Amino acid sequence: MIINSTELQNNFGKYLMLASQEDIIITRNGTEIAKLTSAKHASTANRSAMAEQVREKAPEYSSDGKKATFEEFLQLHQESEERYEYIDGEIYLLASPRTAHQIALTELFVIFYHFFQGKECTPMIAPYDIELKKSPESFNIVQPDIMFICDLEEKLNEDDYYKGVPSLIVEVLSKSTRRKDMIKKLDLYMSCGVKEYWIVNPDNKEVTVYLFEDKNISNNATYKNNEAVQSFIFEGLSAEIRRIFRI
């Protein structure tokens, strides 16, 4: 990730946390002047670089790294029956997820569906396109695993597409989506007005919840073992870890 020195000064806490997952290059007047990296990354860089390269080529969530215009993405999206996302100018192909992913997704959606019965917010499940903008010119299209929409009727356009920002988003990790969900999507959701983000990890059977305020991480918590995940923004919304990861 590349940012300028002013952005770093104004949001140091945010980028300090992101640096635990990805190197942050700092520029001044367009010139690279420093790099913010974690101690763990520094000691394992050679080893992890090769592993990450392999993961990024996995079929569940693949990109060739080439930039594409939003118009090119829309054309591909309309002409293909495959599922795609468009994040920071790159197109990502989404393939069929694995069993542990789908079980966690199903268990969570059932919990959310019952919790929101009779309430104003509506839980939605992928595939469902969400359009997010970091700036008026920056278009991103994602398909979160689960999203809570609290302004559905207000933000539906004439073609029945939602054009708002979900209050809460859930992503269930796959080995090949880990980097995107934990770095690119975290930054995207934080920057575009999502209030809460759940990262569900079937591999280590943990759920991390982030609370976003003023485009920054204001709180976070990780749940595992016999604990129950708690929402920051929806009082009473919880999910038992053992139920989410029942295999």
pLDDT band at 64, cuts 50/70/90? Answer: low
> What integer pLDDT is reported at residue 40 of this predicted model?
52
What is the set of domains in the chain, with CATH numbers?
Answer: 1-53 (3.40.1620.10), 97-244 (3.90.1570.10)
Residues 3-62: tens digit of each pLDDT: 776 776 666 666 666 776 677 777 777 777 677 776 555 444 443 433 343 233 334 445
Residues in CB range of 124: below 8 A, 6 or more apart: 146, 147, 148, 149, 166
Strand boundaries in the chain, DSSP class E: 2-4, 24-28, 31-36, 61-62, 83-87, 90-94, 122-125, 130-135, 138-142, 146-149, 168-172, 196-201, 206-213, 216-223, 228-230, 238-240
> What integer pLDDT is reported at residue 53 of this predicted model?
36
DSSP state of 69: -
Residues 199-245: tens digit of each pLDDT: 999 999 999 999 999 999 999 999 999 999 999 999 999 999 999 99
> Among 221, 198, 191, 182, which residue's Cα sits nearest to residue 112?
198
Residues 97-140: tens digit of each pLDDT: 889 999 999 999 999 999 999 999 999 999 999 999 988 888 99
pLDDT: is 166 or 184 the higher one?
166
Give me the count of residues in the chain: 247
Give whole-number Cα distances, 228 to 85, 101, 199, 245, in Å.
31, 18, 14, 12
- The model carries a pTM of 0.74
Residues 140-178: tens digit of each pLDDT: 999 999 999 999 989 999 999 999 999 999 999 987 777
> What integer pLDDT is reported at residue 46 of this predicted model?
40
> What integer pLDDT is reported at residue 59 of this predicted model?
41
